Chain A
């Protein structure tokens, strides 16, 4: 009886409280509107650190704390321990006053300013960028638009860049103009509500997300390791944030419907994003079981860019699992460290 009580208490605690996530020590070094730039406190002596700083750029519609999920299982913590000078750009939560913000603003206003600060604080003229999901779209466009800013290495994780085959993209089908009136949605809400984005992501695999996920917790209530991991992930998953209206419109109209980036026709604040101008070393990490960004969306970039140093790393797992799942510290992080370490001297 006491065992059942204990399990019930665990279940209610995990479902009703928030886990302590994003615990790696960091300092706020720059802020603009809702965006914040953090620098993680180095743990490796200066002489043993890599010379090139690393800036992490996550998606617009989720918190970047997934990169620093929990102590002992955090990508940020891992990279800091490997001697990288790590910075994180948190886009923040857009308010109604940010509904007009477009990807143009993120790419050409926020990102270059944060990069300027990274260069100033690190004392380095070159830097590395890691973009994940929508963050990969922003960093790719920036790398193509500003190839002389000192970007040495670009890492893209589950990058949704190629929308040429809508039959393989469930989101493309749902947001087809026949069924989804983006202007009407934004006219009512201003920004794309986080709950709607969350529903869209979960509805791609409804049984896994709404049933199996909770059964996994139920089956492992006596396993503290699984419970704590589940608690941390649930804390991140349920912390939804809206996406700025202007950026969401571009995602649907310019990218999902018209594939302008890959066609070489995407105009960002009057400048055409020419992928041939992207010359930084490039690593693209593809999740083989990704249902949000199927592998076909991340593959074509290699043949379109001007870089000569390119690499593709395929990892079994899903959109988030490849970086935050239980196998990430064996399959993904060491590969990124090895690839980047060789290019950060």
Chain B
């Protein structure tokens, strides 16, 4: 299949023309790349730009003046006035973005506080339960580990239980 394709390609006169064309363009391309990389090219394009700016500046200035007068007569804002207005809009947008950032920060702080205050009552019973469980475990461990120590602890507990506390009412 590939052989057939290559055979048909080689017999296609247009293909030979294309190859010649591409080879020529390859040579031209290299020559042009070299040409644009020279100081002479930079100098020539610089001079052309300079010429354009020299020619365009008075024309532009004249057009701007005429436009300004025309707009004034029609009671319409000039380009400079519109530009100044657009700049002010951008400044307002910047301030709005600052306010948006501050609001986001406030919302985030409020939600953090809410989460913390919701979590706080829920944590207390949990902490109490875990403390009881820990004390149970430690008591069991203590019983297993050393009976005298456990007995002393029991005695201490009963003593503290019998201790009279401050009377209320």
Chain A residues close to B by CB (< 8 Å): 32-33, 95-98, 109, 113, 116, 120, 170, 173-174, 176, 178-181, 184-185, 188, 203-208, 211-212, 215, 219, 291
Q: Across the interface, which residues of B come within 8 angstroms of A211, CB to CB?
A: 25
Could you tell me which residues of chain B, from 124 to 154, have a CB within 8 Å of some CB in chain A? Answer: none
Nearest-neighbour CB distance to chain A for B161, whole angstroms, equals 52
A188-B46 contact, Cβ under 8 Å, with A97-B83, A116-B101, A212-B25: no
A212 & B18 in contact (Cβ 8 Å cutoff): no
B28 & A207 in contact (Cβ 8 Å cutoff): yes
Place the interface of chain B in its size category: 20 to 34
Interface of A is mostly: helix
- Central interface residue in B32, B39, B41, B93, by most chain A CB within 10 Å: B32
A205-B33 contact, Cβ under 8 Å, with A33-B93, A95-B86: yes
Cα distance A215–B24 when bound, in Å? Answer: 13
B50 & A181 in contact (Cβ 8 Å cutoff): yes
B43 & A109 in contact (Cβ 8 Å cutoff): no
Interface of B is mostly: helix
A32-B97 contact, Cβ under 8 Å, with A204-B36, A207-B32: yes
Q: Can you list 22 A-B contacts with CB-CB less than 8 angstroms, sorted by A residue number?
A: A32-B90, A95-B83, A97-B90, A98-B90, A109-B94, A113-B97, A116-B104, A170-B37, A173-B37, A179-B43, A179-B46, A180-B49, A185-B53, A203-B36, A204-B33, A205-B33, A207-B25, A207-B29, A211-B25, A212-B25, A212-B29, A215-B21
Q: Across the interface, which residues of A come within 8 angstroms of B29, CB to CB?
A: 205, 207-208, 212
Given A179-B42, A179-B46, A181-B53, 19 extra CB contacts under 8 A: A32-B90, A32-B93, A32-B94, A33-B90, A95-B83, A97-B82, A113-B101, A173-B39, A173-B42, A174-B45, A179-B47, A180-B49, A184-B50, A185-B49, A185-B53, A188-B57, A205-B29, A205-B33, A208-B29
Q: Across the interface, which residues of B come within 8 angstroms of A206, CB to CB?
A: 32, 36
B32 & A96 in contact (Cβ 8 Å cutoff): no
Nearest-neighbour CB distance to chain A for B91, whole angstroms, equals 10
A179 & B37 in contact (Cβ 8 Å cutoff): no
Question: What are the 6 A-B residue pairs with the smallest beta carbon separation, nearest first?
Answer: A179-B46, A97-B86, A207-B29, A97-B83, A33-B90, A173-B42
Could you tell me which residues of chain B, from 1 to 47, have a CB within 8 Å of some CB in chain A? Answer: 18, 21, 25, 28-29, 32-33, 36-37, 39, 41-43, 45-47
Cα distance A181–B82 when bound, in Å? Answer: 28
Residue of B nearest to A120 (CB): B104
Q: Across the interface, which residues of A come within 8 angstroms of B104, CB to CB?
A: 116, 120
Cα distance A261–B35 when bound, in Å? Answer: 30
Cα distance A183–B94 when bound, in Å? Answer: 28
Q: Across the interface, which residues of B come within 8 angstroms of A176, CB to CB?
A: 42
Residue of B nearest to A181 (CB): B50
Nearest-neighbour CB distance to chain A for B107, whole angstroms, equals 10
Q: Which listed residue (A97, A188, A203) contacts B53, Cβ 8 A?
A: A188
Nearest-neighbour CB distance to chain B for A168, whole angstroms, equals 10
Cα distance A218–B46 when bound, in Å? Answer: 34
Cα distance A178–B44 when bound, in Å? Answer: 11
Q: Across the interface, which residues of A come within 8 angstroms of B84, CB to CB?
A: 97
Cα distance A33–B91 when bound, in Å? Answer: 9
Q: Across the interface, which residues of A come within 8 angstroms of B79, CB to CB?
A: 96
Cα distance A248–B138 when bound, in Å? Answer: 74
Q: Which listed residue (B41, B45, B87) contacts A97, Cβ 8 A?
A: B87
Cα distance A181–B45 when bound, in Å? Answer: 12
Cα distance A228–B47 when bound, in Å? Answer: 40
Could you tell me which residues of chain B, from 39 to 83, have a CB within 8 Å of some CB in chain A? Answer: 39, 41-43, 45-47, 49-50, 53, 56-57, 60, 79, 82-83
Cα distance A113–B39 when bound, in Å? Answer: 43
Could you tell me which residues of chain B, from 106 to 128, have a CB within 8 Å of some CB in chain A? Answer: none
Cα distance A207–B39 when bound, in Å? Answer: 19
Cα distance A204–B37 when bound, in Å? Answer: 8
Cα distance A208–B28 when bound, in Å? Answer: 10
Q: Across the interface, which residues of A come within 8 angstroms of B39, CB to CB?
A: 173
Nearest-neighbour CB distance to chain B for A169, whole angstroms, equals 10
Nearest-neighbour CB distance to chain B for A252, whole angstroms, equals 13
Q: Across the interface, which residues of A come within 8 angstroms of B50, CB to CB?
A: 181, 184
Q: Across the interface, which residues of A come within 8 angstroms of B60, CB to CB?
A: 188
Q: Across the interface, which residues of A come within 8 angstroms of B83, CB to CB?
A: 95-97
- Central interface residue in B18, B86, B97, B101, by most chain A CB within 10 Å: B97
Q: Across the interface, which residues of A come within 8 angstroms of B46, CB to CB?
A: 174, 178-180
Q: Across the interface, which residues of B come within 8 angstroms of A204, CB to CB?
A: 33, 36
Q: Across the interface, which residues of A come within 8 angstroms of B41, CB to CB?
A: 174
Residue of B nearest to A291 (CB): B33
Cα distance A173–B35 when bound, in Å? Answer: 12
Q: Across the interface, which residues of B come within 8 angstroms of A219, CB to CB?
A: 18
